[in-house]
C-alpha cells in the first residue's frame, strides 16, 4: 500500500518541502502504525526546516512535531492498545505523513468524540503552555502575566489556561491579533508600535509576576524590565534566530542546532547574577518530556479532559490537506495567524474517530 509523506530536502526556505509517495511503513517490534488524522504546523517545524532548531534532524526528514491519529496496525510485542483506537503523540518530526510508525509507549489515548484538529493543538502548544504555567512559573490566582505572541499557537493556549488559573493577563501581538487577544480576556499591547515594558509599568505600576517569552535574544532582557521584583521570565523560544524576512528565505542553509544558544545562556546567567531578584528561566517541552515522560502523559490527559469539558477551546486557524504542507508553512511564516494551522486528512473537518 502506498502513502504520502512530506520531506524536507535541504535546510532553507519553503522550497525545501517536497511531497513524496512511497510504500507504507511497517511497524517493528514494540511499534504501532498510526493513520494520521491531524498534524500540527508550528514555528519549531519552520525553525527545523531552516536548520536552526535544537531538534533539527539530518536531511532528508519528515517534519511534524505533533499528531492525532488512529491505530492502524500493531507490531510484535505490543499490548494494551487496539486497532481503531484514537491516539495522540509528539514524535518531534515525522507527523507530516499519512502513516507513521511509533513506539507504543509514545501514544496517549484520546477520548472519543473530540475534533482531531482541536485535539492535536493540545499536544505541543497546550502542554508547553500548561507546563510553563504550572511546572515552571507555579502561578497563583490573582498574579499578573505578560504573554508575548499572544495571538499565536502557544500564546493563545497560554491565555486560555492563564484565565482558568485566575491570572490577570496582558498580551503582546500585532494589530491583526488584538481582537483575539482581548476576546481571550487579556489586555493587548501592540508590540510593533509600543514599548511593552513601559506600557506594562503604566498599566500595572510595579510590573508583572511572570513574562512568557518565545522571542529570545535581547528581547529576554527587555521582558525582564516588565517584571516586578521577585518575578521571572520564562524563556521558551528563539524566534529571533530565524533567517530571512518573514521566514520565507530561499537561501539554502546548514544545520546549526546551537544557533543563538550561547547568547541565550548569557542572558539567563546575567539575570541570576544581577540584583533585583528578576530571573530568566528556560523551558523546553522536549527536555522535560525526556527527563520526566510521566508528566507529559499526565498533563496531556489533563488537557484532553479540559477539552472534553469544553473548558478550553483551541483556536484552529486553518485546516489544510497534507499535500499543502508547504503552503501551510508559508502562511505561518508570513505571520498574522491566530491560533494553530493543522494539516488534516482530505482537508476536511474531522471527528477524531472518523474513518
Ligand atoms: N520551548 C518549548 O518547549 C516550545 C514549544 C513550542 C513552541 N515553542 C516556541 O514558541 C514560539 C511560538 O511558536 P508558535 O508555533 O506558537 O508560533 P506562532 O503561532 O507563529 O506564534 C508566534 C506569534 O508571535 C507573534 N510575534 C512575532 N514577533 C513578535 C514580537 N517581537 N513580539 C510579540 N509577538 C511577536 C506573532 O504575531 P504576528 O504574526 O501577528 O506578528 C505570532 O502571533 C516559537 O518561538 C517556538 O519555537 C517553544
Within 8 A by CB and 6+ apart from 308, the residues are: 111, 113, 114
Dump the DSSP string for 168-183: EEEEEE-GGGHHHHHH
The band of 348, judged by pLDDT with boundaries at 50, 70 and 90, is: very low
- Is the model's pLDDT at 134 over the cut of 50? yes
Mean pLDDT of 350-354: 41
Among protein residues, the one with the nearest Cα to ligand 1's atom 9 is 237
In short, whether 341's Cβ falls inside 6 Å of ligand 1 is no
Q: Which pLDDT score is estimated for 310?
A: 96
Q: Whole-model pTM?
A: 0.94
- Ligand 1 centre distance from Cα of residue 59 (Å): 24
In short, whether 337's Cβ falls inside 6 Å of ligand 1 is yes
Mean pLDDT of 170-198: 96
Give the Cα separation of 106 and 150 in Å (integer): 29
In short, whether 48's Cβ falls inside 6 Å of ligand 1 is no
Give the Cα separation of 139 and 167 in Å (integer): 8
- Is the model's pLDDT at 343 over the cut of 90? yes
Ligand 1 atom with the shortest distance to the CA of 215: 45
Q: How far is CA 344 from the centre of its chain?
A: 17
In short, whether 188's Cβ falls inside 6 Å of ligand 1 is no
155-173 CB burial, b ≥16 within 10 A, e <16 = bbbbbbbbbebebbbbbbb
Q: Which pLDDT score is estimated for 268?
A: 85
Give the Cα separation of 208 and 220 in Å (integer): 14
In short, whether 237's Cβ falls inside 6 Å of ligand 1 is yes
Phi and psi (nearest 5°) for 87? -135, 160
- Is the model's pLDDT at 243 over the cut of 60? no
Residue with the three cell numbers 511509533? 102
- Is the model's pLDDT at 101 over the cut of 60? yes
- Is the model's pLDDT at 351 over the cut of 60? no
Amino acid at each position: 500500500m502506498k502513502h504520502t509523506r512530506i520531506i524536507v530536502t535541504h535546510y532553507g526556505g519553503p522550497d525545501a518541502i517536497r511531497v513524496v509517495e512511497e510504500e507504507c511503513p511497517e511497524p517493528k517490534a514494540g511499534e504501532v502504525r498510526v493513520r494520521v488524522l491531524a498534524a500540527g504546523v508550528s514555528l519549531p517545524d519552520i525553525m527545523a526546516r531552516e536548520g536552526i532548531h535544537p531538534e533539527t534532524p539530518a536531511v532528508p526528514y519528515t517534519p511534524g512535531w505533533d499528531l492525532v491519529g488512529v491505530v492502524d496496525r500493531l507490531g510484535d510485542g505490543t499490548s494494551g492498545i487496539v486497532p481503531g483506537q484514537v491516539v495522540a503523540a509528539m514524535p518531534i518530526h515525522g507527523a507530516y505523513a499519512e502513516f507513521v510508525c511509533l513506539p507504543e509507549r509514545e501514544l496517549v489515548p484520546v477520548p472519543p468524540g473530540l475534533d482531531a484538529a482541536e485535539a492535536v493543538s493540545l499536544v505541543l502548544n497546550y502542554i508547553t503552555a500548561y507546563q510553563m504555567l504550572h511546572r515552571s512559573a507555579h502561578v497563583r490566582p490573582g498574579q499578573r502575566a505578560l504573554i508575548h505572541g499572544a495571538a499565536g499557537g502557544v500564546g493563545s493556549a497560554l491565555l486560555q489556561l492563564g484565565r482558568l488559573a485566575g491570572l490577570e493577563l496582558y498580551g503582546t501581538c500585532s494589530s491583526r491579533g488584538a481582537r483575539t487577544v482581548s476576546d481571550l480576556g487579556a489586555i493587548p499591547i501592540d508590540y510593533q508600535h509600543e514599548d511593552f515594558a513601559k506600557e506594562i509599568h503604566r498599566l500595572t505600576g510595579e510590573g508583572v509576576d511572570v513574562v512568557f517569552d518565545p522571542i529570545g535574544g535581547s528581547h529576554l532582557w527587555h521582558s525582564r524590565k516588565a517584571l516586578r521584583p521577585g518575578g521571572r521570565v520564562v524563556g521558551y523560544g528563539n524566534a529571533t534566530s530565524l533567517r530571512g524576512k518573514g521566514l520565507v528565505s530561499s537561501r539554502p542553509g546548514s544545520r546549526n542546532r546551537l544557533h543563538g544558544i550561547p547568547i541565550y545562556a548569557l542572558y539567563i546567567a546575567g539575570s541570576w547574577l544581577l540584583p533585583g531578584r528578576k530571573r530568566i528561566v528556560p523551558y523546553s517541552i522536549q527536555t522535560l518530556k525526556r527527563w520526566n515522560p510521566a508528566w507529559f502523559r499526565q498533563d496531556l490527559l489533563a488537557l484532553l479532559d479540559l477539552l472534553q469539558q469544553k473548558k478550553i477551546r483551541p483556536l484552529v486557524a486553518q485546516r489544510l490537506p497534507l499535500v499543502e504542507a508547504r503552503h501551510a508553512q508559508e502562511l505561518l511564516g508570513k505571520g498574522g495567524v491566530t491560533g494553530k494551522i493543522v494539516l488534516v486528512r482530505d482537508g476536511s473537518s474531522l471527528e477524531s474517530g472518523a474513518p
